[in-house]
Every structure is written in C-alpha cells, then in structure tokens.
Amino acid sequence: MAQFITNRRDIDFVLFEQFDAGSLTQYEKYAEFNRKTIDLIINEARNFALKELLPTNAEGDREGVSFENGEVRVPQCYHRPYKLYLEGEWPSLSEPVEQGGQGMPPIVARAAYEYLIGGNYCCVNYANFGHGTGKMIQLFGTEEQKKLFVEKLYKAEWTGGMLLTEAEAGSDVGALTTEAVKNEDGTYSLSGTKIFITNGEHDLTENIISPVLARTPGAPAGTKGISIFIVPKYWVNPDGSLGDRNDIVCTGIEEKMGIHGSATCTMALGTRGQCRGFLLGEENKGMKIMFHMMNEARLGVGFQAFTSAAAAYQYAVNYARQRIQGRDLTAGKDKDASAVPIIRQPDVRRMLTWMKAYVEGLRSFIYYTDHAMTSLELVESAEDRQYYQGLIDLFIPIVKAFNAQRAFDVCVQAMQVYGGYGYTKEYPVEQLVRDSKITSIYEGTDGIQSMDLLGRKIVMDGGKAFGDFMKEVQSTISRARKNENLGEMAGSLEKAANRLSEVCTNLAKTAASSDTKRAFAHSFPFLEAMGDVIVGWMLLWRAAIASEKLEKGPKAKDKAFYQGQRTTADFFIHTVLPQTLGKMESIDRMSAAAVDMEEAGFGS
C-alpha cells in the first residue's frame, strides 16, 4: 500500500512562491536559511517520517498505551523513532541554538513538521509537548529555573505535560480546587487531582516536567486566583541531577476513540506523600502565563488536524486513481465499454476538489500565521509589532477551531471516496477519521474558541485587527483583478468579505447588548463563515500567483499545477462561498430559537 503524508510541491509553492521564505536570508538571524538549506531540512524530515515514523503509526494505534501498577507504557514500536527523533534534533526547530533548538524561521519549521507530525502525531507529540513548558519557563522563570529545565525540555531529553483540567473544572478553569501551600524553602506542596492529561506519564524519558494550575490559600475566586507551578516527576537538584520521586502519580488512563498511542492520564498530586513544585512567575498570575502556552498549543492542535486532512486527501486521490469500477458516464449504454478509475466519475471529482480546496487553503492559512509570527520577530516599530500581533491573536481561535472542523470533514470525505473499504481498518483513512476528531475538543472546545473570537478578538483595540484582516483580503482582491481570468472570482470574494464585515458588526453590537446570549448562539457559525472567507482569500491569492506564472510560460511539469490552483479557487469561490453567504444571512437574522428553547423541549 502506498504511504502518503503530504504534498511537497504544494509546500514549496506556499513557502517560496506565496510567502517568499527564501528572502529571510536578508536578516542576520536567518542568514543561513537559503533555498538549498531549507530544501535539505524538508527532505530530511520527509525521509525520516516515511522511514521511521509512518510505519509505526498504524502499529501504535493497534497496540495502544498500557497502564499497570501506576506505570504507563507507550507502544513498543515508538521507542526507536523517538530516540532517533531526539538524535536528529527535531523537537524544537525554531528555538535558539544555545537553548537546545535549531534557530529556524517558524515558517520553515512548519514545513518540516508537516512530515514529522503527519508521520506519527502520537509518537512525535511526546517529544514536542514539552516545548510549551520550556517556553513558559524561558519567558517567566527565574534564572535558576531556566538553567534547570529549558534546554532539557527543548531537546526533549525531558518531556512536559499540562495539568489544567479537573473533574468539576473542565472548560471552567476558574473552578479548579487543586491547592498549593508554600514551604519554608520557597517550594510549594501541591494536592489535588487532574484529568485528561496528555502525556502525563509514560516510559520514553527519565523525567516529565508538568506545569500545574493550582490555588494558594486565600487566593481570589475564579481565574484571578490561579497560580502556575513547575512540578517534576523526579525532583531536580540545584546541580541538575535527579533526586527523589515526586508524589505526582498516574492513577489511570483513558480508553479513547482515537490517538490510541497517546497517553491520556488521570494524575494525583500529594495523595501518597509530598508533591513539591516551583512557583512560575508570581502568585495569582497563572492564567496570564498559561495563555502563552495555550496559544502555541491551539495553533498546534489546528496544525495537527490539518496534517490528518492532508494525508487523507493524498490517500483518497491515490485510491481514486487506482480503483477501477464502473464505466465512464459518456459511454452511455455501451456494454462493451471498459471500466474506468473512479476519479473519472463527476461526484468523486467533486469530493476530491472540495477536499483539495480546504487542504490547500488551510495550509496557506497556517503558514500565513507562521509568516506573521516570523515577521513579528523581525520588525522594529511598535506599530508593525501591533499589526502582526493583532492578526495572530485574531487568527488563533480560527486556526484551532475551523481547522479542526474542516479537517475532520476532509477525513470523512476521504472515507467516502474509499466507499466500504474506507470503513475498514485495512485502509488508513479509518484511523485518520478517529484521530482527527479530538482536535475539535481538546485545548478548548470549538465553541469556546468561537466565544473567544466574538467576545474578545474581533473587538480588541476597537476592532483594529479585524479591520487589518479585511485590508489584507482587499489587497489580494486588487491583485487578482489585474488578471482578466480572475475578475469574476475577485468580485465574488469581495462580496463575501463585505458581507462578513457587516455580519461581524451586527453580531458584535448584539453581543455587547443585553441580548448577548442570542449573539453567542451564533458565534460558532460566524467563526465558520470567517474561516470560509479566509480560505477563499488564500485560494484567490494562490490563483493570482499561478496566473502570473502561467503568463510567463512555466515549465511543462508546473503548468498543470498552476492551472489546478486557478480551478481550485474557482470551485471554492463559486461553489462553497455561496453556501457561506447563506450561512451569513442566517447569522444576521440572529434567531433566538436556541436560547429560547425550554429545557423540557429537548426531551428526556
């Protein structure tokens, strides 16, 4: 069976033709990352993923994680690729070399991670998950804490967890009850239980460093009274050596629909002795610190979803080309007509084109966010930094939630292309469907992301970021109008963008009124509509580049690719966006039916 992860030609298009990653060499920080170096990095990531990671993906899914006597064991097949992953120095590609990273531009690291995470997310995530912990300590920790933890976490010699959720405090983080009491030596003793902890315990590394949200005695209620603590599995001595086992213990793991190779743990703190931790930052400032990690995590979840979609699309196209069944519709009643590959059937082409549009649009959207993050590091003026930070903040909930929803839909559509075979474990799309579903749930459900978008992001700084986003879309529309083949598409996208702006204004006004619940009942459909407009923007941008290339007479091998970019944009803008306009009409009516529904009306 052919093995697929993603599309290298499209990655190169986004990197070098849409976002001009090669120009980063003009900055001293990225002077060494020329086209040759970037190609080498991506090639190495691809080779490693295909040789070591992808072959363990289905095997790890079948074997799953085991739990016995307080110990968690990952699938045995993960140990070799994990060791090689660390030896290859893949875990922290964008962090400074002196801190254990590789110093890559975020947008280049993203291309490498398309292969690495797409190859086996569960295995790679054990190594990558500690990155966010290291980043928080780097930004908010003491010099001693940085010395003890950051490099080990960035190199994934130690891994990290994220202990937020409690049984009675899931999405409502402010309701957590885990307690932290200060000791005479400045450390804290923690007690409580956390659930749904990804990689909370495993047997891949000698130590696990977990950020834990907890309350100190007398802390204010709600999120204002939350602090964050660094809690090692094994205590770390001042010289960096490991000390005694800390009382942070896994008491069970979850049996899940998907990501069977990922350990989802219940963690007990201080139930058998003393669980000690270091305060990170100041008391009662934990949520501010955690959001630095959460933004990175939410971008990562949206990307995780995307990699499932990218693989599912590649598998579906390959299968549709090889699966011979039925005659071509143009054969009519000719009984002697030969059977043809199902890719010749119009409805299969519709499904594949729909999948292609979302996969390529989401890829550009994710890379655009990375491009903004790279630009944020390089610009000098406060105005420019505010511009890029505003776009990043605006896009994070959409990258997370919209990508999660559409990526799952792409995986389901891939299963449909396979027909009955897609529903069996013999083919890979069944696992991709199961694995991708979690992305709409963890790191804040999609409904929470839509509330963040409506309640915070579109109104921050008086709506400046949303206005900047609209200007970016208009810039692409103006560019496309210069090509006679794209004029109609440009006009259709402009109509959708203008309607989105109107709906946004009306929805934000209602959200700020006494009728706020009615507005928030439509927050997720609004997020989806905004996501569709973003995909339309990205696809028109791609089509504009492709049209310019076609006018110059590209090489024969590139001509079909560029023509495909225009056709994909045409399909999405004239087939999907009209449906999005209908959704926006529905949002703007702002029906109160969902809010007004009596509890009894939902049935028993």
In a domain, 256, yes or no: yes
Do 112 and 230 lie in one domain? The reply is: no
**d(C-alpha 387, C-alpha 461), whole Å:** 11
Average pLDDT, integer, range 318-336: 87
Do 590 and 547 lie in one domain? The reply is: yes
Q: How confident is the model at residue 18 (pLDDT cuts 50, 70, 90)?
A: very high
Q: How confident is the model at residue 93 (pLDDT cuts 50, 70, 90)?
A: very high
**d(C-alpha 439, C-alpha 560), whole Å:** 33
Element (H, E) at 190: strand 188-198
Query: DSSP per residue over 228-246, as a string?
Result: EEEEESEEE-TTS-EEEEP
Judge contact between 313 and 356, C-beta under 8 A: yes
In a domain, 603, yes or no: no
227 has a pLDDT exceeding 60: yes
Which tops the pLDDT comparison, 280 or 288? Answer: 280
Bridging pattern class, strands 159-160 and 248-253 = unpaired
Q: Given phi > 0 = left and psi -120 to 50 = alpha, else beta, which region is 264?
A: beta
150 has a pLDDT exceeding 90: yes
In a domain, 137, yes or no: no
pTM: 0.95
- As given in the structure block, the two tokens for residue 471 are 């200007």
Residue 92: CATH number of its domain: 1.10.540.10
pLDDT tens figures, 36-52: 999 999 999 999 999 99
Q: Out of 52, 360, 443, 494, which one is annotated catalytic?
A: 443
Final residue belonging to a domain, choices 385, 420, 444: 444
Do 266 and 319 lie in one domain? The reply is: no
Final residue belonging to a domain, choices 444, 474, 497: 444
Do 115 and 164 lie in one domain? The reply is: no
Q: How confident is the model at residue 70 (pLDDT cuts 50, 70, 90)?
A: confident
Average pLDDT, the chain: 94
Do 204 and 278 lie in one domain? The reply is: yes
26 has a pLDDT exceeding 80: yes
Judge contact between 25 and 37, C-beta under 8 A: no
The whole-angstrom distance between residue 331's C-alpha and the CA centroid of its chain comes to 45
Judge contact between 445 and 453, C-beta under 8 A: no
Residue 271: CATH number of its domain: 2.40.110.20
- Which residues constitute the domain of residue 265? 160-284
Do 269 and 320 lie in one domain? The reply is: no
pLDDT tens figures, 476-504: 999 999 999 999 999 999 999 999 999 99
User: How many domains does the chain fold into?
Assistant: 4
Assign 162 to helix, strand or coil.
coil
**What whole-number percentage of the chain has pLDDT above 70?**
99
Do 423 and 465 lie in one domain? The reply is: no
Q: Which residue has the tokens 């491009």?
A: 371
Element (H, E) at 557: helix 556-571
pLDDT tens figures, 528-539: 999 999 999 999
**d(C-alpha 128, C-alpha 130), whole Å:** 6
Q: Which of 106, 135, 572, 117 is nearest to 366 (CA)?
A: 106
84 has a pLDDT exceeding 60: yes
Say what the pLDDT of residue 32 is.
94
Say what the pLDDT of residue 1 is.
54
Q: Which residue has the tokens 């200007």?
A: 471
In a domain, 299, yes or no: yes
Do 37 and 93 lie in one domain? The reply is: yes
Do 174 and 79 lie in one domain? The reply is: no
In a domain, 602, yes or no: no
209 has a pLDDT exceeding 60: yes
In a domain, 181, yes or no: yes
- As given in the structure block, the two tokens for residue 185 are 């030596």
- As given in the structure block, the two tokens for residue 339 are 């059977």
Judge contact between 377 and 30, C-beta under 8 A: no
Say what the pLDDT of residue 2 is.
62
- As given in the structure block, the two tokens for residue 229 are 């603590």
Which amino acid appears at position 2 of this protein?
A
Q: How confident is the model at residue 172 (pLDDT cuts 50, 70, 90)?
A: confident
Q: How confident is the model at residue 262 (pLDDT cuts 50, 70, 90)?
A: very high
Judge contact between 465 and 391, C-beta under 8 A: yes
In a domain, 146, yes or no: no
Final residue belonging to a domain, choices 128, 152, 170: 128
Q: Which residues pair with 232 in a beta bridge?
A: 209
515 has a pLDDT exceeding 60: yes
Say what the pLDDT of residue 170 is.
67
Average pLDDT, integer, range 595-600: 85
Do 518 and 575 lie in one domain? The reply is: yes
Residue 206 among the catalytic residues: no
Do 117 and 186 lie in one domain? The reply is: no
**d(C-alpha 305, C-alpha 399), whole Å:** 10
Residue 310: CATH number of its domain: 1.20.140.10
In a domain, 557, yes or no: yes
122 has a pLDDT exceeding 70: yes
- As given in the structure block, the two tokens for residue 302 are 């949206």
Judge contact between 229 and 278, C-beta under 8 A: yes
- As given in the structure block, the two tokens for residue 516 are 């706020």
Do 308 and 385 lie in one domain? The reply is: yes
Q: How confident is the model at residue 161 (pLDDT cuts 50, 70, 90)?
A: confident
